[in-house]
Chains A and B, each alone.
Chain A
Amino acid sequence: MKNKFSLFIVIIVLSFCFVIFYKGLNNSNIYEPKIKDKKNIPIFEGKDFNSNNYINSEKIFEEDIFYIVNIWASWCVPCRKEHPLLMELSKNQSIKLIGLNYRDNLNNAKNFINEFGNPYSQIIIDNDGALSIEFGAYGVPETFIIDKNKKIIRKFVGPINQKIVKEIKLIIK
């Protein structure tokens, strides 16, 4: 009786380990930070891309509309892929796009904008990547949706696509 009970316990423990490891095999081992709650936008002061003047976040996000913050760089290949979609989104009157130029050469960034068009109502220079960290980003491109209460409600890692554009349009409706 005692032996049978021990065998039963061993089988249960082994089955438990098997299920855990089997499930673990199917999980992606790449971690992506997710937004659990609506987070307030960070308070910061950044350099304007065009005027080179310092501007604070309250001034950037002063209107009572939805904002999209897009982190981009001229050296980032996926940014070129998503650029036409950002141009499409910029036509929407109920949102404003704010660009965060991440660790870039200013001349290259200006050439990029001249070549592909400017979807942003304002571009802030993020030379050392510190502003992107404040937003909770860890690469380029990344896109954040900010609601009328100035809270980050959605985050997209990597280039946006048609499906994401549709989702953004639904959110801002």
Chain B
Amino acid sequence: MKILKIFIIIFLSVGFSHLKSNEKNNELKSKILKNIRCLICQGQSVYDSESEFASSIKLIVEKKINEGLKEEQIYEFLREKYGDWIIYDPQLNKNTYILWLLPLLLFLFGGTIIFKKLNNQK
């Protein structure tokens, strides 16, 4: 009886841990697919698209996750094949410096003007 109890506990814990890791992988897969642009239905994410290309990408992403690749490694694989544009979230590189830094510069510029005006009023 005791052996049976131990067996059931081990069986359940293995089952639950497997379910948990599956759930984690599914969450990661959805997160990645929502951040990949479909090149056929441009403007839609691979997650939302039903095109042949999107279904192939879904399979590849699932395969890469099961192989143990991290999120950034999967993006890197796709970037190497299709360029930066395939990822919705652009990386900071020489082509995107303006995109990332312009809002910050405008914020600083605007802030300086407001600060100066307030100082002058005093």
Contacts and interface: CB of A to CB of B under 8 A. Distances in A.
A29 B53 CA distance: 19
Interface residues of A, number: 19
B16 interface: no
A130 B60 contact: yes
Nearest to A129: B56
Nearest to B57: A133
Interface residues of B, number: 17
Contacts of B86: 33
A138 B60 contact: no
Interface of A is mostly: loop
Given A31-B39, A136-B82, A130 B56 contact: yes
A34 B81 contact: no
Nearest to A32: B39
Interface string B45-65: 000000011011101100100
A103 B80 CA distance: 23
A88 interface: no
A77 B39 CA distance: 19
A138 B53 CA distance: 6
B42 interface: yes
Contact of B59 (A31, A34, A102, A128): A128
Contacts of A31: 39, 42, 85
Given A30-B42, A128-B56, 18 more contacts: A29-B42, A31-B85, A33-B39, A33-B83, A33-B85, A33-B86, A34-B83, A36-B83, A129-B52, A129-B56, A130-B56, A130-B59, A130-B60, A134-B81, A135-B81, A136-B81, A136-B82, A138-B40
